[in-house]
Structure formats: structure tokens, C-alpha cells
């Protein structure tokens, strides 16, 4: 039996997961701001045109695939901050259900 290994060189991007939270400002008003929750390393891969058109009937919004080590608590209501870019999470896949690696299907926010 072979052991599943992750190549750490694939996770060269530093990303932050952000979640909306109702923060109260100095006037007492509630505003929904994005707050950093988790910082992690990941690999961000654009979906090629061939993959995009093959999946168009299923999900035409997916523009990037993000791979990272397994983290519990990652949900589609979060977003990813990568430098000055933001990605909304469409789907969270626990690869092979082994709690080793997550694959996130994302849409870049413009």
C-alpha cells in the first residue's frame, strides 16, 4: 500500500480566509465587514479553457482551483484573499475523504 504524500512545493501562495462578521462601528451601526479568520499556504491554479468549457454545463462560474492542506471549518460562505485579489468559494472538496487535502473551486471577484 502506498502512502499519500503532499508535495509542499505546490503550496507556494500565502492566502487568508475571510468571513463576514457584523462589526459595530463607532456610531453603533452594524456593518458587514470581511475579517481574516485563517492564514494558510496553498496552490492556486487557473482552470484552463478546456476544463472550463467541459464543466460549463455543471458550473460555469469556476475560474480557479485552490489546493491546500486539510483545514476544518472552511465553508462556501467564506472568501479567499490572495494579495490584492479575492476569490469566492463555490465548492469545498475533501479530496478522497482522507482529511489530508482540500480542493476549493473558486470564482475570482472583479
* More confident call, 57 vs 109: 109
Going by C-alpha positions, the residue among 102, 107, 108, 106 that lies closest to residue 10 is 102
27-76 pLDDT, tens per residue? 888 888 899 999 999 999 998 766 666 666 654 578 999 999 999 999 99
Using DSSP's 3-state secondary structure scheme, residue 110 falls into coil
Highest mean pLDDT among 12-16, 21-25, 58-62: 12-16
Phi-psi bin for 98: left (phi > 0), alpha (psi -120 to 50), beta?
A: alpha
DSSP β-bridge partners for residue 64: 46, 106
Domain ranges of the chain: 43-110
Q: Whole-number mean pLDDT of the chain? A: 86
Q: Kindly report the pTM of this predicted structure.
A: 0.80
pLDDT for 60: 56
Asked whether the predicted pLDDT for residue 2 surpasses 80, the reply is: no
Per the model's pLDDT, the better-predicted residue between 7 and 91 turns out to be 91
Higher-confidence position of 1 and 17? 17
Confidence of residue 3 (pLDDT cuts 50, 70, 90): low
What is the number of helices (H) and of strands (E) in the chain?
A: 1, 6
Q: Let me know: does 86 contact 79? Beta carbons within 8 Å.
A: yes
Amino acid at each position: 500500500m502506498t502512502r499519500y504524500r503532499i508535495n509542499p512545493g505546490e503550496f507556494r501562495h500565502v492566502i487568508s480566509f475571510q468571513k463576514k462578521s457584523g462589526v459595530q462601528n463607532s456610531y453603533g451601526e452594524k456593518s458587514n465587514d470581511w475579517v481574516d479568520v485563517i492564514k494558510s499556504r496553498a496552490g492556486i491554479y487557473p482552470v484552463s479553457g478546456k476544463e472550463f468549457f467541459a464543466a460549463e454545463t455543471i458550473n460555469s462560474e469556476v475560474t480557479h482551483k485552490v489546493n491546500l492542506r486539510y483545514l476544518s471549518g472552511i465553508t462556501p460562505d467564506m472568501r479567499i484573499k490572495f494579495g490584492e485579489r479575492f476569490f469566492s468559494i463555490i465548492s469545498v472538496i475533501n479530496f478522497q475523504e482522507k482529511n489530508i487535502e482540500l480542493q476549493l473551486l473558486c470564482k475570482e471577484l472583479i
